[in-house]
Structures are given as structure tokens and as C-alpha cells.
Amino acid sequence: MEKLVGACMFGQSGGPSSVINSSAAGVFTEALKQTDCITAVYGAAHGIRGVLNEEFYDISQEDPKELALLKNTPSSALGSVRYKLKAEKVDDTDYKRLLEVFKKYNIRYFFYNGGNDSMDTCNKVSKFMKKSGWECRVIGVPKTIDNDLDVTDHCPGYGSAAKYVATTMMELKLDANVYDTPMITVVEIMGRHAGWLTAAASLANVKGLGADLIYLPEVAFSTEKFLADVEKKMKQNNGKCMIAVSEGIADEKGTLIAEKMNENIAKDSFGHAQLGGVGAALANMCKEKFGCKTRAIEFSLMQRCGAHLASKVDVEEAFRAGQAAVRYAVKGTTDKMVLIKREMSNGKYKGKIGVMSVAKAANTEKKVPLEWIINDGTMLSQEYIDYALPLIQGDCKAPLEDGLPRFAKLKKVLVEKK
């Protein structure tokens, strides 16, 4: 493979996670080392939009110490974006503009960090550059707390979010058990289509402090069955029930329970209306039915940005994924997404980096296997525990300063427009 010399562009896209910046740290530190091939390292402001607008930072200006701190800084340090490139045959304006910018700055390496939609962007950019005869190596770096990218064993971002969910469930369970009066707690966890993150509530069961009932979008949700499940658990557990639900649970027709329940409320217009998440709606329903204390809790943004609870395995894998993207590209790989393969030796987990077709990554969605969802759709099996537990191992967080995390502070020096 011939040596390709030019600038590299890195962008962050989609919802933030605890480790998306760790991948950035991996890309940047490796790219800055590859001085033979990579002549400049750019970080796009707000993903692909920064490229289109010629707004990107000169990463060589950054203090290496701050780049290292990125590893433990949550969210997207460069800014993110939700911007879908139209199909080229519908509108090729953006593509032409990208080619123009790539040529102007001699961009020969394009790295993009995100989930399915970001891999779609990667794929489209890759195909267009190839068609246009502009040699540019394109590698996607996976990231999503949803863990729904296919082929890769799991996605960077998932382990840390899962660790947040499992640890916090344990703490909440201890809190919920404090009074000996009946109490139903409904915890709402992110995940529109795939229940991976909600499934992590079952990891707390390894320590005997998990959710009693777990509902994922993979299984059609019935409110009647739900109430029966809760009643049974309350009888077993001295009036207590701890429930974890995916925000995306839906009925057998695919209608979101959150939407359905809010509709009913609007129709009935009974006194205590309650919009908002499905967790609050289900807690309300339990209150009506069982007349006991209920509490709805949303993990909200904390589950995706709680870097103080990041998993060491996850932080390191995210870093290595970024690093590997650069190494693969320099060696000639293009049109791929980095993935993680699971290797077990002597019962010890190891995540090995590989690559897959970026087109495939863009267009598939991985759900929790149905055979891992047991107890009549209310619990995860040992297979899931075995799958997820290695991913939440170890602590890795920002150093403390004034008792608070010392996150990276980038200078973000904009590259002068040509």
C-alpha cells in the first residue's frame, strides 16, 4: 500500500458519552505521532457541520497534558451534531462542499466517531470521495451507550453507562429498603429500540441489589401483565418492588407505552395528570392500583455523562479504538469501522480491535437476543451477565482537584480559513 500524505480530520457526532473523548484522545495522540503521513491534525467543531463550514481546530496547538485528560472527560469536547447527509442523488450540495474542503486542506484521512447515523455519514463520505477520485481513507470509530451497532461485540460508551446503571441501582435498592412500608420504585433508563442499557440493571443482581423486574423494548409490553408482575413481586418481597424500564417499551402494535399512557391521561383528564417519561406514568399507575408509595426516577443525562463512574475497560477500549483507527488508515485501510472482538482466555476477557465494513455498521441495529430475556420477559439471563460484566470492570476517572474532577481544557484554536 502506498504511503498517503496529508491532513487528518476527526469529528464527534451524535449523543455524548463518558468515553467519546477517550476515543478522541486515542485519535489525536496517535495522529500527532504519525508525522510521516499525517501533516496536520484537525478536530471538526460540531462534527460534519464543522467540516462543511470550515470550522475546525488545530490539534497540534493543544497541550499534550490536556489531550491526555480528554480520556476522562465526558461529553464531546469538540462539540457534536445531529446532521444527516442527504442521499447524493437527492442533493449533492454537501458532498461537493466536502470535496472542496478536503481538497483545500489536503484532507486525506477522515475519522468519525458515533453511532449508526454517524457511520452512515462515514459511509457516504467514503463512497463519494472514492467516486470523485479524491484519495481519502475513511474510518469510523464506534460510540454509543445504546450498544446497538452490529458485528462489533459491543460499543465503546456502553460499559461506562452500564456501570453507572448497575452501581446506581444498587445504591437505590439500599435506599428503597430503608423503611419497612410498601414502596414501588420505577427507574427509567435510556434506550429507544434496544434494551442493552436497561438490561444493565440486572448486573446489580450479581450483588443481590438489583431490579426485581426489568422491561426492555425487545418484548411487547402489556400494562395488565406489568401490574400482575408487580403484585407478585410485592408479595414475595415484603411490599417492595424495584423496576427498571427502557424509555422505549412499546405494546404489541409497536406503540410507545409513554405515548399511550399520556393519551389516556389526556382522555380521562383525571385530577393528577402526568406527562413525561414512561417511568413516571407507570409509577402513577402503580399508585392508583396498589395505593402505596411509589417513586419514579430518571437516570436522565447522568447515565451517559457520569464519567466519574466510567469503566476502566471501556475507557481503555475507547482510547484504543481511536488509536487503531489512525494506525489502520495509515497502513492503507479505508471504508471501515473499527470494532471490538471478544477474546476469552482462561476465563479472562480481552477486547481485541478489528475492522468491519462501515456500510454494514450504518445499516444494522443489534438488539438484546430474545433468549437472554427470561422470567416471562422480566429479567436477564446469566448469558447477559457473562456478556456485560467484563465490560464494567475497573475504575478510571479524572484526577481530583479541589475535590472535583479535573477535566480537559482545550484551547480550540480555529484553523484559519483558506
In the complex, the smallest distance separating the C-beta of residue 168 from a second copy, rounded to whole angstroms, is 6
Phi then psi dihedrals of residue 236, to 5 deg: -70, -35
In the complex, the smallest distance separating the C-beta of residue 392 from a second copy, rounded to whole angstroms, is 4
d(Cα 368, Cα 388) in Å, to the nearest integer?
11
Q: Which C-beta is closer to a second copy: that of 371 or that of 401?
A: 401
In the complex, the smallest distance separating the C-beta of residue 179 from a second copy, rounded to whole angstroms, is 6
In the complex, the smallest distance separating the C-beta of residue 185 from a second copy, rounded to whole angstroms, is 8
Q: Which of residues 356-415 bind a second copy (CB under 8 A)?
A: 389, 392-395, 400-407, 409
Q: Which of residues 146-175 bind a second copy (CB under 8 A)?
A: 163, 166-168, 170-172, 174-175
Concerning whether 146 is annotated as a catalytic residue, the answer is yes
Interaction of residue 265 with a second copy, rule CB under 8 A: yes
Binding residue count for a second copy, defined by CB under 8 A = 68
Catalytic residue among 120, 146, 148, 212: 146
Judged by CB under 8 A, which of 6, 7, 8, 16 binds a second copy?
16
Please report, to the nearest 10 degrees, the dihedral formed by the alpha carbons of residues 92, 98, 100, 102 taken in order: -150
Interaction of residue 278 with a second copy, rule CB under 8 A: no
Judged by CB under 8 A, which of 23, 72, 80, 323 binds a second copy?
80
User: Which among 30-38, 206-214, 251-259, 336-344 is the span making contact with a second copy, rule CB under 8 A?
Assistant: 206-214
Q: Which C-beta is closer to a second copy: that of 75 or that of 334?
A: 75
Interaction of residue 344 with a second copy, rule CB under 8 A: no
User: Which among 75-83, 128-136, 218-226, 373-381 is the span making contact with a second copy, rule CB under 8 A?
Assistant: 75-83
Judged by CB under 8 A, which of 60, 93, 238, 300 binds a second copy?
300
d(Cα 119, Cα 356) in Å, to the nearest integer?
11
Q: Which C-beta is closer to a second copy: that of 34 or that of 53?
A: 53
Interaction of residue 39 with a second copy, rule CB under 8 A: no
Judged by CB under 8 A, which of 206, 292, 374, 414 binds a second copy?
206
Residues belonging to the active site: 146
- The contact set with a second copy (CB under 8 A) reads 15-16, 46, 73-76, 79-82, 163, 166-168, 170-172, 174-180, 203-204, 206-209, 265-266, 269, 271-276, 280, 295, 297-298, 300-302, 304-309, 311, 389, 392-395, 400-407, 409
